[in-house]
Amino acid sequence: MSEVRNDRTVTVAALKERVKEFTDARNWGGGHRPKNLAMSITIEAAELMEHFQWLDNDDYQVDRLTPEQREAIRLEVADIAIYLLSFCNQVGIDLAQAVHDKYDINEKRFPVESYRK
Amino acid sequence: MSEVRNDRTVTVAALKERVKEFTDARNWGGGHRPKNLAMSITIEAAELMEHFQWLDNDDYQVDRLTPEQREAIRLEVADIAIYLLSFCNQVGIDLAQAVHDKYDINEKRFPVESYRK
Amino acid sequence: MSEVRNDRTVTVAALKERVKEFTDARNWGGGHRPKNLAMSITIEAAELMEHFQWLDNDDYQVDRLTPEQREAIRLEVADIAIYLLSFCNQVGIDLAQAVHDKYDINEKRFPVESYRK
Amino acid sequence: MSEVRNDRTVTVAALKERVKEFTDARNWGGGHRPKNLAMSITIEAAELMEHFQWLDNDDYQVDRLTPEQREAIRLEVADIAIYLLSFCNQVGIDLAQAVHDKYDINEKRFPVESYRK
């Protein structure tokens, strides 16, 4: 595809639409039930974590990761996003709104003043 | 805030920016290391899963969930997204591009023709 | 109970029996299906992980953990074991044999000679 | 090995000893830090869950699983146990005692009388 498709140009709705389109074209909707998708998100998240299993935080400075590791990590992140967006599609969640609403709660729980010196 | 903030209007970049802004304002960047964030995504995903632990798929039809369950689930989804976007911020991943690239791979792995009758 | 119940004296079978007894007495067997129990093990494992989310490996030296943290961790470990043993009960797995069989495989995959200087 | 090694004969301590022996012989103790091991338990639990990702509870009746599935599941269970026991070794947890203590708590939280008709 030649169209531009990056974070600057793509809305969350467009990304959700891509997920729906791919899933529907394969009749996978029947398996994409909320319970199964919650499992799938967790499974993919654990696979991402596997890249960080044995070393210390400092060993995972971005510039120490090999290009192969970075690409594998990038595609794991995509998998998590895909199942998360499919979950939103199935359950009817507006993700951008959910994130903003959660931050409204967090702003009160973690008032920014207490973190300023 | 009075601005419109939903999936139709918000780009992935804008959502990532919201995450960065909140984290930076609290100087949490030091803890938001890739290894820790991969753990956080998994922890939140497992919390989402907890809502679906004991019953069968059919019992989680959207219309059977109570409004309280739906709201709790919506906020768990937001938490997963927040850590996932923070991970992208820290490691320098363009999420929309990653998702589209992953689907380019998946289109070949799961050719749509084989799912059509 | 006054009987001695520690790792030196308790067999894996006795521990599995304790799990079965508790579950059966509450008629929880119906929910303790393999799929659900695999979720439960993961959920409890993620809760254990939550204790180690934000700091580096070195910060979790055993002697730096508070007594409260150690007790909370100890009970999370128990929860993981309980669901793991219930899974074994449901699916009919002899855990000691499984561990020994897995090590027979691992002995070949990671020959001890290659780790000696 | 010709010795009998099953749940009836093996104590939890003996199983922990097997884990310690294998790990020590490969000098893996340095990586087997509590934070890393909590991640490892979760990663293996998610791999177990992967076997139950797409179908309903009823589809995983033990007698419907193929011998290959059962063997793969059995070895995943062993992996979870190995990391859990290594965690206990590292942090100094008596697992049998932890399980019994947790059940003492659970007996009060879920009194058996309320489950009897």
pLDDT per residue as tens digits for the range A36-65:
999 999 999 999 999 999 988 888 887 788
Q: Which residues of A touch C59 (CB under 8 A)?
A: none
What does the alpha-carbon distance between residue B105 and residue B114 come to, in Å, rounded to a whole number?
Answer: 16
Does residue D22 have a pLDDT over 70? yes
- For residue D52, the chain C residue with the least C-alpha distance is C35
The candidate with the shortest Cα–Cα distance to A14, out of A99, A95, A100, A101, is A95
Q: Which residues contact B104 (CB under 8 A, 6 or more apart)?
A: none
Q: How many domains does chain C have?
A: 1
Closest CA in chain A for residue B9: A11
Residue C1's pLDDT is: 47
What are the beta bridge partners of residue B28? Answer: none
Asked if B24 reaches chain A (Cβ–Cβ under 8 Å), the answer is no
Cβ neighbors of D16 (< 8 A, separation 6 or more) are C7, D85, D88, D89, D95
Please report the pLDDT score of residue C117 as a whole number: 59
Q: Each residue of B44-55: pLDDT tens digit? A: 999 999 999 998
Q: Give the distance between the most distant pair of CA atoms in chain B.
A: 55
Q: CA nearest C110 in D: which residue?
A: D26
Shortest distance, CA B43 to any CA of chain D (angstroms): 9
Nearest CA in chain D to B40: D39
Amino acid B1: pLDDT: 46
How far is C-alpha C50 from the chain's CA centre? Answer: 16
Residue B61 contacts D where some CB pair is shorter than 8 Å: no
Residue A57 near chain D (CB below 8 Å): no
D5 found inside a domain:
no
- Estimate the crossing angle of helix D95-109 against helix C12-25, to 10 degrees: 10
Query: What 8-state DSSP symbol labels residue C6?
Result: S
pLDDT at B34 over 50: yes
* Residue A95 to chain D, least CA–CA distance (Å): 24
pLDDT value, residue A117: 59
* Euclidean distance between CA atoms D53 and D68, whole angstroms: 17
Question: Which positions in chain A touch D36 (Cβ < 8 Å)?
Answer: 53-54
User: What residues have CB less than 8 Å from B15, skipping those under 6 apart?
Assistant: A12, A95, A96, A99, B81, B85
- The alpha-carbon gap from D43 to the nearest alpha carbon of chain C, in Å, equals 8
Q: For residue A104, is it within any domain?
A: no
Structural domain includes residue B32: yes
- What is the C-alpha to C-alpha distance for residues A39 and A35, in angstroms, rounded to an integer? 7
Whether D45 maps to a domain, the answer reads yes
pLDDT band at B15 (very low <50, low <70, confident <90, very high): very high
Higher pLDDT: A101 or D116? It is: A101
Residue D44: give the domain boundaries. Answer: 12-92
Distance, in Å, from the CA atom of D97 to the CA atom of D20, rounded to the nearest integer, reads 19
- Enumerate the β-bridge partners of residue A71: none
The pTM score is 0.95
CATH number of the domain that residue B20 is part of: 1.10.287.1080
Residue with tokens 């803890």: B31
**What average pLDDT does the structure give for chain B?**
92
Q: How many pairs of residues across B and D have Cβ atoms under 8 Å apart?
A: 10
Closest residue of D to A33, CA-based? D54
Taking phi over 0 as left and psi of -120 to 50 as alpha, with beta for the rest, A27 belongs to: left
In degrees to the nearest 10, what's the CA dihedral of A87, A88, A90, A94?
170
- Selecting from C43, C45, C50 the residue whose C-beta is nearest the C-beta of B50 gives C43
CB interface of B with A, residues 70-109, below 8 Å: 70, 73-75, 77-82, 84-85, 87-88, 90-103, 105-107
> Does residue C107 form part of some domain?
no
The tokens of C23 are what?
């579950």
pLDDT tens track for C73-109: 999 999 999 999 999 999 999 999 999 999 999 999 9
A117 belongs to a structural domain: no
For residue A2, is pLDDT > 80? Answer: no
The dihedral over CA atoms of C15, C20, C23, C29, expressed in degrees to the nearest 10, equals: 140
D27 φ/ψ sector (left φ>0, alpha ψ -120 to 50, else beta): left
Which ipTM did the prediction report? 0.94
Question: In degrees rounded to 5, what are phi and psi of residue B11?
Answer: -80, 160
For the cut 60, the answer to whether the pLDDT of residue B93 exceeds it is yes
Cα separation, D12 vs D100, in Å, equals 13
Classify residue C101: in a domain, yes or no.
no
Min Cα separation A39/chain C (Å): 7
The pLDDT of residue D1: 47
Q: Find chain C residues with C-beta within 8 A of A46's C-beta.
A: 42
Interface test with A, best of B1, B11, B89, B94 (most A CBs within 10 A): B11
Name the residue facing B77 among A19, A55, A87 (closest C-beta). Answer: A87
Domain assignment present for residue C77? The answer is yes
- Phi, psi dihedrals of residue D7, rounded to the nearest 5°: -60, -30
Q: Is A57 on the interface with C (CB under 8 A)?
A: yes
Residue A25: closest CA among C111, B102, B106, B22: B106
Contacts of C104-113 spanning 24+ positions with Cβ under 8 A = C104/D1, C105/D75, C106/D22, C107/D22, C110/D26, C112/D25, C112/D26
Closest CA to C7 of D4, D20, D112: D20
Name the average pLDDT for chain D.
92
> Which chains border D (3 or more CB–CB pairs < 8 Å)?
A, B, C
Q: Which has more pLDDT, B65 or A12?
A: A12
Q: What is the pLDDT of residues D62-110, one digit of tens each?
A: 778 899 999 999 999 999 999 999 999 999 999 999 999 999 999 999 9
The chains in contact with chain C, meaning 3 or more Cβ pairs closer than 8 Å, are A, B, D
